């Protein structure tokens, strides 16, 4: 099976993996662990957090439900913000649900503006975000959180399921999860650079680290935005701009519920977190301006293990998982 993939390179790549892991990855991981322990014991982590500026004007896409809604409410209830000093700009396609989230946040003392908008509409996103930035005196945090799964593509059949071609599934997921993120974070990059401050956040996924054949479009789109966030963090850091990439595992949100509602019990996603626990973790990561937040730990370990597994072995494992054309996308 290995020889079928590459007769010449496969054994050399295996040796290179062993050499790289033992020579670079393991020592670097030990140093990183020691550094984190030192920061924790010395209290340096707390001092760094206290020194971070508190955002006052925050944009959240996909804010009508799930982790977007949960974190928006957490910002509104945060004691760091005096009554009326926080401005939340909440965006989603679901205007009715968005209005309810806004009502909840306003009841907690936050100022809220809502916008029903399609994140795949580049011109509309650009015009609106530039206008908001002008009106509020500068956005501090933009969180590109809107996302979809392949089961949202196609037309509804008599059984209540959407039927879409593989192309329809891939088009929808990559447009929203990929280009939608670009349309959210790029309009204000030049302004953040000029101001020498700002915070960009992107919701990626643990699916960023390897491809699930069942959700190829989702994994590809999340890998795209994960890589985008990591690269931007390098080029924007000299200008005082922070970039956070959020990589959760399975969270019991409407999105995951929609993707799994027709699956049998033995194929339901493992180790699902409730939205409240996930929202707490994400809010802390954004407050600390962490560059990457991956959780929960068991799913992180599983994802990382699959990521470093050679393709031929990973493909063999997936070949036993009953992945078919009909349930891919």
Of the candidates 164, 142, 141, 139, the residue with the CA atom closest to the CA atom of residue 152: 164
Average pLDDT score over the chain: 85
Reported confidence tier of residue 160, pLDDT bands at 50, 70, 90: low
- Which of 90-94, 234-238, 307-311 bottoms out in mean pLDDT, i.e. has the lowest? 307-311
- Greatest alpha-carbon pair distance for the chain in Å reads 66
Task: Please determine, for residue 263, whether its predicted confidence score (pLDDT) is greater than 60.
Answer: no
**CA separation for the pair 60, 115 (Å, rounded):** 10
Name which residue leads in pLDDT, 37 or 62: 62
pLDDT confidence band for 228 (50 / 70 / 90): very high
Residue 71: CB atoms within 10 A of its CB come to 26
The two structure tokens encoding residue 323: 């992945």
Contact status, residue 209 vs residue 184, Cβ threshold 8 Å: no
Q: What is the DSSP letter of 273?
A: B
216 within 8 A of 170, measured Cβ to Cβ: yes
Question: Does pLDDT of 11 surpass 90?
Answer: no
What's the N-to-C CA distance of the chain in angstroms?
Answer: 25
The C-alpha atoms of residue 184 and residue 91 are separated, in whole angstroms, by: 10
Q: What is the pTM of this model?
A: 0.86
pLDDT tens digits along 114-140: 999 999 999 999 999 999 999 999 999
Q: What is the pLDDT of residue 308?
A: 77
Residue 269 has pLDDT above 80, yes or no: no
Superfamily covering domain 55-317? NAD(P)-binding Rossmann-like Domain (3.40.50.720)
For residue 66, say if its preceding peptide bond is cis, omega within 30 degrees of 0.
no
Who contacts 81 (Cβ-Cβ below 8 Å, separation ≥6)?
54, 56, 75, 109, 110
Q: Domain segments of the chain: what residues?
A: 9-51, 55-317
Which pLDDT score, from 0 to 100, does residue 127 have? Answer: 98
Residue holding tokens 């973790």? 281
């Amino acid at each position: 099976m290995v020889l079928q993939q590459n007769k010449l390179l496969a054994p050399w790549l295996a040796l290179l993996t062993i050499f790289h892991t033992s020579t670079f990855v393991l020592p670097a991981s030990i140093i990183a662990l020691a550094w984190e322990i030192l920061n924790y014991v010395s209290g340096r982590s707390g001092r760094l957090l206290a020194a971070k500026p508190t955002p006052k004007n925050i944009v959240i896409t996909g804010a009508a439900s799930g982790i977007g809604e949960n974190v928006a409410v957490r910002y509104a209830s945060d004691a760091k913000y005096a009554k009326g000093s926080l401005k939340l700009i909440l965006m989603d396609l679901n205007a009715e649900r968005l209005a309810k989230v806004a009502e909840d946040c306003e009841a907690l003392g936050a100022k809220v503006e809502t916008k029903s908008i399609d994140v795949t509409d580049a011109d509309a996103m650009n015009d609106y975000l530039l206008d908001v930035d002008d009106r509020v005196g500068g956005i501090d945090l933009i969180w590109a959180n809107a996302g979809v799964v392949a089961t949202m593509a196609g037309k509804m059949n008599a059984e209540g399921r959407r039927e879409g071609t593989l192309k329809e599934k891939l088009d929808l997921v990559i447009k929203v999860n990929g280009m939608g993120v670009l349309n959210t974070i790029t309009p204000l990059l030049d302004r953040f650079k000029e101001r020498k401050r700002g915070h960009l956040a992107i919701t990626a996924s643990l699916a960023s680290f390897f491809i699930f054949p069942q959700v190829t479009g989702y994994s590809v789109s999340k890998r795209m935005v994960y890589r985008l966030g990591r690269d931007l963090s390098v080029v924007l850091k000299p200008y005082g701009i922070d970039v956070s990439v959020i990589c959760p595992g399975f969270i019991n949100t409407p999105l995951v519920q929609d993707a799994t509602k027709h699956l049998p019990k033995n194929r339901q996603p493992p180790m699902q977190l409730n939205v409240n626990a996930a929202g707490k973790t994400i809010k802390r990561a954004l407050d600390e301006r962490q560059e990457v937040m991956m959780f929960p730990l068991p799913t992180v370990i599983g994802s990382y293990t699959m990521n470093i597994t050679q393709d031929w072995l990973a493909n063999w494992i997936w070949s036993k998982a009953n992945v078919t054309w009909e349930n891919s996308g």
